[in-house]
């Protein structure tokens, strides 16, 4: 690698690099076991050969472009059939489920195939979208934001939904009543702060958000922010430490969660 000889003395201690430089940090975050061993060999090669490094960068870019491809906007479908059909097609293609007003839930089968019968519901608004586990990201959300009568949106466990995506949800403020963000690894309390636009929200699920630094306190602040909403999530007492007098009392008993 073209690491400079005049190395940055400030960088070295932070990155724990030494002669390895900035690559050393990944060792501390690498998972254990076989995967770690494999990573070290590849990393070893990538440090020494430009070709291996270029190959790895190419593979990384391909991974990213796969997500982009999944989130492309279906402009043709939108022009021909309207925003509801385009959104439904997008969600079904990603593997989620969609519910038109007055209809049942439509979801793809085990193989990812779904029938195109919903193409006749051009004027029927979409009422609920369940995009749990889908690879939906900031660009893909474009398709959903045109649904002005959407009442329920579930983005549980979506790996690419982050704070930036949440900042776009204000466009659904007129109708959205139920929102679920449980298990999204990239959502933090900073994104939750943008939800104050959703004044019609009645149910909000913010449980199990690993990126939120203080779930109990965040729960309280979100409840204050959205007074009409029922916020499910962390218990406010979670993370609180017992005071000294309570601690001596509770040594024998188990602490209630």
Partner 1 sequence: MAAGGGHGRGSWGSHGETAAYGAEGRGLEAPLANGRARLNNSRRGAVTAEGTVCGIECCPRRGGPQRAMLRRALRLGLGRGLLGRGLGTWRGDSTLDWDGKVSDIKKKIQSVLPGGAWNPLYDTSHLPPEHSDVVIVGGGVLGLSVAYWLKRLEKRRGAIQVLVVERDYTYSQASTGLSVGGIRQQFSLPENIQLSLFSVDFLRNINEYLAVVDDPPLDLQFNPSGYLLLASEKGAAIMENNVKVQRQEGAKVCLMSPEQLRNKFPWINTEGVALASYGLEDEGWFDPWCLLQGLRRKVQSMGVLFCHGEVTRFISSSNRMETASGEEVTLKRIHEVHVKMDRSLEYQPVECAIVINAAGAWSGQIAELAGIGKGPPGTLQGTKLPVEPRKRYVYLWHCPQGPGLETPFVIDSSGAYFRREGLGNNYLGSCSPTEEEEPDPGNLEVDHGFFQDKVWPHLAQRVPAFETLKVRSAWAGYYDYNTFDQNGVVGPHPLVVNMYFATGFSGHGLQQAPAVGRAVAEMVLEGSFQTIDLNPFLFSRFYLGEKVQEHNII
What residue ranges bind partner 1 (CB under 8 A)? Answer: 1-6, 8-11, 15, 21-23, 25-26, 29, 39, 43, 46, 53, 56-57, 60, 64, 138, 163-164, 166-168, 170, 188-194, 196-197, 213-214, 217-218, 221-222, 224-225
Cβ count near 161 (within 10 Å): 25
**How far is residue 93's CA from residue 129's CA, in Å, rounded to a whole number?**
13
Give the CA count within 13 Å in the CB-facing half-sphere of 16: 6
> How many other C-beta atoms are found inside a 10 Å radius of the C-beta of residue 139?
15
Q: What tokens appear for 55 in the block?
A: 């190959």
Q: How far is the CB of 93 from partner 1 (least distance, A)?
A: 23
- Rounded distance, CA 247 to CA 242, Å? 6
Distance in Å, CB of 50 to partner 1, minimum:
9
Smaller CB distance to partner 1: residue 93 or 196? 196
Give the nearer residue to partner 1 in terms of CB position, either 50 or 105: 50
Write down the least CB distance from residue 251 to partner 1, Å: 30
Residue placing its CB nearer to partner 1 in the complex, 141 or 153: 141
Number of other CB atoms surrounding residue 165 within 10 Å = 24
Q: 98 or 229, CB closer to partner 1? A: 229
Q: Give the shortest CB-51-to-partner 1 separation in angstroms.
A: 12
**Sequence-distant (≥ 6) Cβ neighbours of residue 42 within 8 angstroms:** 52, 56
Distance from first CA to last CA of the chain, Å, rounded?
51
DSSP states along 110-172:
TTS----GGGG-TTSPEEEEE-TT----TTTHHHHHT-TT--EEE-TT-TT-BHHHHTTGGGG
Is the CB of 92 or the CB of 141 nearer to partner 1? 141
184 to 191, 206, 254: CA distances (angstroms): 11, 9, 31
CA 27 to chain centroid, in Å, comes to: 25
Shortest spacing between CB 249 and partner 1, in angstroms: 28
- Minimum separation from the CB atom of position 188 to partner 1 (A): 8
For partner 1, which is the closer residue by CB, 21 or 82?
A: 21
Task: Quote the least distance from Cβ 108 to partner 1, whole Å.
Answer: 29
Q: Which CB, 62 or 113, lies closer to partner 1?
A: 62
């Amino acid at each position: 690698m073209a690491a400079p000889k005049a190395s940055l003395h400030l960088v070295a201690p932070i990155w724990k690099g030494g002669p390895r430089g900035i690559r050393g940090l990944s060792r501390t975050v690498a998972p254990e076991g076989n995967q770690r061993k494999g990573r070290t060999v590849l990393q070893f090669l990538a440090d020494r050969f430009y070709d291996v490094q270029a190959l790895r960068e190419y593979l990384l870019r391909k991974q990213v472009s796969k997500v982009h491809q999944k989130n492309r906007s279906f402009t043709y479908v939108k022009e021909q059939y309207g925003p509801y059909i385009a959104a439904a097609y997008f969600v079904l293609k990603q593997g989620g489920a969609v519910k038109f007003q007055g209809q049942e839930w439509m979801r793809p089968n085990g193989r990812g195939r779904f029938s195109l019968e919903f193409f006749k519901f051009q004027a029927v608004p979409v009422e609920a979208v369940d995009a749990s586990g889908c690879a939906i990201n900031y660009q893909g959300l474009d398709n959903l934001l045109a649904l002005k009568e959407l009442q329920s949106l579930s983005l549980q466990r979506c790996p690419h939904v982050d704070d930036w995506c949440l900042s776009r949800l204000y466009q659904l403020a007129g109708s959205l009543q139920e929102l679920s963000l449980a298990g999204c690894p990239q959502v933090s309390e900073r994104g939750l702060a943008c939800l104050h636009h959703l004044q019609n929200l009645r149910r909000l699920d913010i449980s199990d958000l690993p990126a939120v630094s203080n779930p109990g306190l965040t729960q309280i602040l979100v409840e204050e922010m959205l007074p009409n909403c029922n916020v499910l999530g962390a218990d406010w007492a979670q993370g609180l430490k017992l005071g000294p007098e309570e601690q001596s009392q509770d040594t024998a008993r188990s602490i209630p969660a």
